Structure 1
C-alpha cells in the first residue's frame, strides 16, 4: 500500500533546502511540484503558499517567535526553526487552517523528524503564539522607521537603508509592499506562430483568465491555471513566460532585418527568443551562457518556439572570443546581478544577498562589460540590463562604462510607450521599480558604439540635481 504523503513535511523539506542548503526557491519548488504532480490541486497550492509565504515573511516570523521563545531563533535547530516559521505563518496568514490543527501537526512533525525531546518546546511556543499573536508589539514607524519596514515587510535593514537613501522612504515602502502582492503570470505572444486573437482564444478555452498588459500589445497577463506546462498555448510554443520588463530589452535593442545579435548571458533565453522572433526569420541570434545545463535549457526553449535563426552556445562572457570582435550589430548584456528587482517572485534573494556579495557582483558585471563591448561593430548597439534596482549596479556602472569605452547613450523614447517616458528615458536608460511600474524591478540602457573619434552623444551626469537639490539617477 502506498504511504500517504504529508504535505506539511514536503513544505518543511523545501524550506530546509532553501534556507540551509542555499538552494534557489523557485527551482526547488518547481522540481518538487513536478515530482508530486499527482497531488490534488488544493494540496499543491497549500505547499506553494506555505513555502512562498514563509519566505516572504521570514523576518517577521522570527520577530514573532522571539516574543514567545526563551531560545533565540538562530540558536535553534534548523528544522525546528523552519517548523516554527511555517507554523506561525499558517496561524497569521491562513485563516482556513485552525490554530489547534497547526500546533498538533507541528508537534507530530517534530516527533516524526526525530526531535521527540523538543516536541514540548514546539507545542509551548506555538500555543503561546496562538493565544497572543494579535497582541504582538511591532516597531514604531516614527521612532524606528527602518526597523518597522524590516519587520513589517521582512527586508534586511542594510538593503532598506540603501533604497531609502536613493528613492526616499515612501517609494521604498511601495517597493516592499509590492513584493507581497499576488501578481498574474506575464507571457509574450509568439506572433510568428499564431495571432494574438488565436492565442487568447486558446487560453480562454482552457478556463484561463487573460488580460492585456498596458506596456506592450503582445504582452498578456494570465491567471487561473494550475501548471504552465499543461497550458496548450505554452506547449505549442505560442507563448513564452517573460516579464514585460524583459520584453522591453528587445524593444530597446530594436533589431533590423538581417542583424547579427549576441546575447552574452542569455539563459533561460527569453530575450534571445524575442529578438529572433522580431527578426522574422532573418539574421542570426547567438544565445550564449556559461554552463552546459543552461545551454540545454535554452535549446529546449528554442526547439519549442521552432525558430530557425537562433542557436544556443556554450561560452563564458568573461573570456574574450577573438572570432566575435566587432561582428555583432547588437550585443545584449543582461549581466548577473543581485536580483533585487524580482524579490516578489524569488523571496529568498533578499536573505541570501549581502553588501559584500553585491560588490563582488559589480566587479563581475564590469569584467563582462569590458570584454563584450569589443563584439559590437562600429555604429552598433550594446543593451545593458539587470533585474535589480539601485544605482550601484546600474547607473554607476553606466557612468564607469562611458568613462572607459567609446560608447554614448541613446534615447529610449522611440522604443517605449508614453507611460514609461521620463527624463531618464530621453537620456538613454530606465529604472523600473516594483510597486511603481507594472513590472519587475529592471534597468535598461541603450548604448551606441561611436563610429569615429569625436562622435558625440548623451553622457551620464551623476551631478545633475532635481528641484529639491537631490541627485537624480
Structure 2
C-alpha cells in the first residue's frame, strides 16, 4: 500500500469539502488497521502537516511555478503541496525520493503529460529551499499568515483582540503536538491503576493539568487496539471539556439535559457525577450523532443516560423547567481546536462566525426554558472568538432571568481570575495547556 497515494486521497477529499480532515484520516486508518505503526505515523504526519501548512506551502510553490496554485488541477496541486511539505519538514525523506515519488504519483493518477512540470517545480524548490524568505515582519498580518498558515482575516481579528505577542503565542501553540487526553472511568478503575496498566504496555502516561481524573497518553499505536479502551476504562476527552462539567457543579440525584451532546463525553461525565439517583438526557441533531453517544455509554457501562434525536433550536414543551443543570455546548467556529481540526481555519469566514453567533442565541433562547428556577445553565464553545463568547454572555444576561455565577469554587487556584469571578472562563491555546475553550455559568432566578 502506497502511503503517499493514501495521503493524496485524504487531501483531495478534504480540499473538496467532502469531509473534515480528522474524520477522513480516521476513516482511512480504520480501514487499513493492518498497516505498520511507522506507516500509520508517516501517513498521519503527511496529511496533517500538509493541511496545517497549506498557506505557507502555496506561498513557496507560487514562487517557483509558472502556473499559480489556485489555477492548478486539484490532483497536481495536492501532490505539490504534500511534496513541498516533505522537502521542508520531513528530514528523514531524501529530496530525490520526494521528487521521484511525486512524478510517479502524477503518472499513476493520469497526468503523464505533467510529470515534467511536477519534477521541474519540485527540484527547483529543493535546490532553493534555504533561500526562501517570508513576507517582511513589518507587515504583521501577511507575515503571520504565511508563517503560521492562518488566513489573513483571522490574523487581523486576533491582532485586534489579543495583540501581537499573544496572537503569535496562540498561532505557535497550534503546532505543538500534545498527548491524547483521557478521562478515567472511576466507576471501573482508579487513575493510578489505569496508569500502571498502560505503562506496562510501554505507553507514556502523565497526569493531565487541573483535574485528578484526567491523564495524557502517548506512544500507543491504535486506540481501538487497547483493551483498556474497549473495556470502557476511559473516555477520550480534553481537560477543557471536563472543566465544563466541573463548573456545572452537578450533585447526586440531579436531572441534567445536554442539548448538543455528541459524541457524549460531557454527558457521560455528568452521569458519573449524578450517580444512580440522577439522570442525564443527552440529545443531538441526527441519529448518527445519537449513535455515537449510545456507543460510548455502552462501552463505559453508563446506564443513567437517555439518548434522543432532537433539534436544540426547536422548543420541547415536555422539557420545560425539568433540568437542575442544562449544558449548552453549542455549534461554534471551532477556532480553539485548530491543532486537532486543522482544516476548520480554511472553511470558516467572518460571515459564518456571525451566522453561528445568531444560531447560538437562537438555541439559548429556546433551551433556557428547560432550567428549573434556581437551576444552572452552562454555556460553552470551543472557540476564542469574543462575539460567540463574551458578547453572547452579555446578550443572554440582558434578555433572560438569569444571573452570572462565580466559577471560583469549581476551579483550581491557577485558573481563577477576574473573569471567573464574573462567571466565565476563556482558555487560550499556548496560554493554557489544553484546547481553546470558553465556559460561562448562569443561575436561573427564582
- 1:55 is the counterpart of 2:51: yes
Conserved? CA contact 2:326–2:378, under 8 Å: yes
Matched, 1:395 2:390: yes
Structure 1 segments of 4 or more deviating over 3 A?
none
Matches within 5 A, 1:24-423: 24-141=20-137, 143-423=138-418
Taking structure 2 as the reference length, the TM-score comes to 0.99
Q: Report the TM-score when normalising by structure 1.
A: 0.93
SS at match of 1:276: helix
TM-superposed deviation, 1:434? 0.6
CA distance in 1, matches of 2:315, 2:412: 36
Q: Retained in 2: the 8 A contact 1:202–1:232?
A: no
Name the CA distance, whole Å, in 2 between partners of 1:215 and 1:182.
19
Distance (Å, rounded) in 2 between the aligned partners of 1:372 and 1:74: 44
Q: Give the C-alpha shift of residue 71 in structure 1.
A: 1.0
CA distance in 1, matches of 2:268, 2:189: 15
Q: Distance in 2 between matches of 1:310 and 1:297?
A: 13
SS at match of 2:341: coil
Structure 2, unmatched stretches of 5+, are none
Question: Are 2:55 and 2:149, in contact at CA under 8 Å, matched by a contact in 1?
Answer: yes
> Structure 2: how far apart are the matches of 1:285 and 1:122?
56
Q: What is the rounded CA distance, in whole Å, between the counterparts of 1:66 and 1:356 in structure 2?
A: 28
The number of residues matched between the two structures is: 446
Superposed CA deviations along residues 195-251 of structure 1, whole A, max 9, x for unmatched, are: 112111111122111101221011111101011111222111111100000000110
CA distance in 2, matches of 1:115, 1:245: 46
| Aligned residues: CA RMSD | 0.8
User: Could you tell me how far apart the structure 2 residues matched to 1:203 and 1:83 are?
Assistant: 38
Residues in 2 aligned to 1:197 and 1:282: alpha-carbon distance in whole angstroms: 27
Give 1:423-462 correspondences, 5 Å limit.
423-451=418-446
Distance of 2:41 and 2:234 partners within structure 1: 23
Is contact 2:253-2:275 (8 Å) kept?
no
Structure 1: which 5+ runs fail to align? 452-473
The question of whether the paired residues in 2 share the 8 Å contact of 1:302 and 1:311 is answered with no
Mapped partners of 2:276, 2:234: distance in 1: 17
Could you list the per-position Cα deviations for residues 395-420 of structure 1 after superposition, in whole angstroms to 9, with x for gaps in the alignment? Answer: 00111111111111100000010111
226-235 or 414-423, which deviates more = 226-235
2:247–2:407 Cα contact (<8 Å) kept: yes
Q: Deviations over 1:261-295 (max 9, x none)?
A: 00000000000000101122221101100000000
C-alpha distance in 1, partners of 2:199/2:273? 26
Which of 96-105 and 194-203 deviates more? Answer: 194-203
Partner SS, residue 303 of structure 2: coil
Contact 2:209 2:239 (C-alpha < 8 Å) held by counterparts:
no
The answer to whether the 8 A contact 1:281-1:307 is kept is: no
